[in-house]
Amino acid sequence: MRQINTTTQLLPHQQAAVDKVRGIKVSGLFMDMGTGKTRTVIELAKLRAPRIDHVLWICPVSLKETVRREIMKHTDCTPEDIYVFGDKTDSALPKDKLWYIVGIESFSSSSRVTMAANAIITDKTFVVMDESSYIKGHNAIRTRRVTLLAEKAKYRTILTGTPLTQGIVDLFSQMYFLSPKILGYKSFYSFEANHLEYHPKRPGLVVRAHNVPYLAEKIKPYVYQCTKDECMEIPDKLYKTRWVRLTDEQEEAYEAAKEKFEHDMDELESRYTISYMSDDYPDSFWRRSSMLIFRLFTSLQTIVCGFERVRTGRDSFELRRYDSRRTEALLDVVRSLPEDKVIVWAKYLNSIEDISEALCEEYGKEKVCLYHGGLNAKQRDAELDRFEAKDGARFLVATQSCGGHGLNLQFCRWQIFFANGFKYSERLQAEDRCHRHGQRRHVTYIDLCASDTIDEKIDEALTKKGSLLDAFRREVKRIKDDKDTGKADKVKKLKEMVRKL
C-alpha cells in the first residue's frame, strides 16, 4: 500500500489508543461514539502502510458513505483510491484500490459479495470490523463468513462503543474474529461451558456469567477502551453526521422533481414573455419564481426522507413511498448508543410514522412516544410524561415545529435529526431542549444526511447559522437586480442554481 498522509491531528486519547495497539496485529477499540474510532484506525492504516496492501473496511451498510467521507476528510486519498461495494459487486472488482468498504449485512444475503471480498483478501490485508456488535451472534451466517474471511489477514481490528449489549455472551465472537488465542477457546461451546449459566427452563437465556475477571485479563492486552466523559476535554455540544446514499428509486424521483421545476419555470417565463414586452420581468414573476423554488425544496427534502406528495388534480394529492436507507441508518445509530433516552427530530408527519414504526418494531411500542401537531395538548402531555418517567419510554419522536419550543429535556443527552428545518433558529431551539441549565453531561447531536442532495445545502446553511431559504432569496434577488443580464439569461441562471441541489 502506498504511503498515505493524514490531514488532521490525533486527539490525546486517540494517540493513546494508537500507542497501545500499533505493535500488535489484532486489536479492539472499545470507544464511545464521538471519540473518533474511525480517525484512530486511519492512523493505524497509515503506520502499517509499508506492510499491508490495502484496507478492507466492513461496516453496517448505512455507514458506508460516512466511512468513505471520513477517509477523504482525514487523509490525502481521493475518491479513486476508495472502492465501495454495491449491489452488483462481484469478483471482477478492481484490485488496485487502497480502501475497500463493504456492508456487513451483505455477507448474510449475498454469496457474490462474500466471494468478491474473498478475491481481494491476502495475508497483507488490514481488515477492520466496524460496529463489531453486528457479529456478536456466534452462529449467524455473516459472523461465520466474515470470521472465516478475516482469517487470511494478519492485521485485524474491531471497533465498537457497545461491545457487550447483552452481557459477556457477546464477547466470544468478537474476540474470536480477532484470534481464537485471545480467549483460548476453539469453540463457543467450550466458552459457554466455562463462563455462562443458563436458565433451567428457558434454553438460551443466560442468567449468570462466571469467571469474568479471567476474561477481562485475557482481553486486556488487545483492547483500548474509553468513554466520552473519561477521555475528552470537549465542548458541551458534540456533532456527528451519518451519511447515506439515495436509492436508485429516490435518485430518479429527485431528478424528476428538478425537471418539473424547469418545466414550471418555462411555462411561467412563456406566460410573462407574452404579457410583458419590457426588458425585465415584473416583481410578481420573481415572487412566483421564489414560490416554485420553495415548493421544489419541500419536494426534494421529502424525497430524501422516503416519500413525496404528488399533485394528481387541482385539490388532490397522491402519497408516493420510495425505498430509502434513511430509516435503517437511524436504527444503526440508535443501536450504537448506550441505553439512554433519545430524542428523534423529524420535519414531516410521514417521517414520524416511518420512524415510529421502525422503533416500535425493534424496541416495542411502550418504548416510543410521539410529540407532534397531530396530537392535541392533552395527548402530547401524556406522551411527554411517559418519556420523562425514569423507567418510561426511551424514545421521543417529535417535530421541531411542535416540540422545539418550551420543553425542558435536560435529562436527555442524545438527539438525532432525521431531517432538519430550513432555519437555524428552529435548529437551535431544538438543540436547546437538552442543552440548558441542569444538564450535567455532554449533549450529542447526530444528523442524518443524504450525499449530493439538498441535505448538504441545508447543513451548509445551518453551519453558517443561516437559513437555506434566506440564502436562496438573496441569490434570487442578486440575479433579479443584475442590470447587465437580460431577462432570458436571468432565468437560465436561476435554473442553473437549482440544478446544483
Model confidence pLDDT, tens digit, residues 122-178: 999 999 999 898 998 888 999 999 999 999 999 999 999 878 777 788 899 999 999
The top-level CATH class assigned to 12-231 is: alpha beta
**Cα torsion angle, 229, 231, 237, 240, sign:** negative
Give yes or no for residue 315 having a pLDDT over 90.
no
pLDDT digits (tens, 9 = 90+) for 216-231: 999 999 999 988 777 7
- Where are the alpha helices (H) located in 337-453, listed in sequence order? 349-363, 377-388, 400-403, 424-431
Cβ-in-10-Å burial (0-12, 13-18, 19+) of 256 comes to: middle
pLDDT digit string, tens, across residues 201-220:
777 788 888 999 999 999 99
Nearest-angstrom CA–CA distance, 206 and 192? 10
Report pLDDT digits (tens) over 233-275: 555 688 999 999 999 999 999 999 999 999 998 888 888 876 6
Which residue reads 442468567 in cell numbers? Answer: 207
pLDDT at residue 89, as a whole number: 92
Q: Is 465 left (phi over 0), alpha (psi -120 to 50) or beta?
A: left
Check residues 331 and 500 and name the one with the higher pLDDT. 331
Write out the H or E segment, with its range, that includes residue 249. Answer: helix 248-275
Cα distances (Å, whole numbers) of residue 409 to 55, 75, 412, 430, 437: 42, 38, 6, 10, 10
DSSP 367: G
Task: Return the bridge partners of 241, or none.
Answer: 447
Could you give the angle at which helices 487-499 and 248-275 cross, rounded to 10 degrees? 170
Predicted confidence (pLDDT) at residue 10 exceeds the cutoff of 70: yes
- CA 146 to chain CA centroid, nearest Å: 22
Tens digits of residue pLDDT in 446-481: 999 999 999 999 999 898 888 887 888 888 888 888
pLDDT at 119: 95
Which pairing describes strands 237-244 and 307-311: parallel, antiparallel, or unpaired? unpaired
Give the C-alpha separation, 466 to 428, whole Å.
11
> Quick one: DSSP state of residue 11?
P
Q: Dihedral of CA 67/71/73/77: which sign?
A: negative
Supply the DSSP symbol for 372: S
Q: Quote the pTM value.
A: 0.72
Q: Burial letters for 385-423: b for 16+ Cβ neighbours within 10 Å, e otherwise?
A: ebbbeeeebbbbbbbbebbbeebebbebbbbbbbbbbbb
Domain boundaries, the chain: 12-231, 246-321+469-499, 326-467
- Spell out a b/e string for 278-301, using b for 16 or more CB atoms within 10 Å of the CB, else e: eebbeeebbebbbebbeebbbbbb
Per CATH, the homologous superfamily of domain 326-467 is P-loop containing nucleotide triphosphate hydrolases (3.40.50.300)
Question: What are the CA-CA distances from residue 80 to residues 45, 71, 155, 410, 443 (Å)?
Answer: 17, 12, 24, 44, 36
Distance (Å, rounded) from C-alpha 36 to C-alpha 73?
13
Range with the poorest average pLDDT among 45-54, 120-129, 147-156, 280-289: 280-289
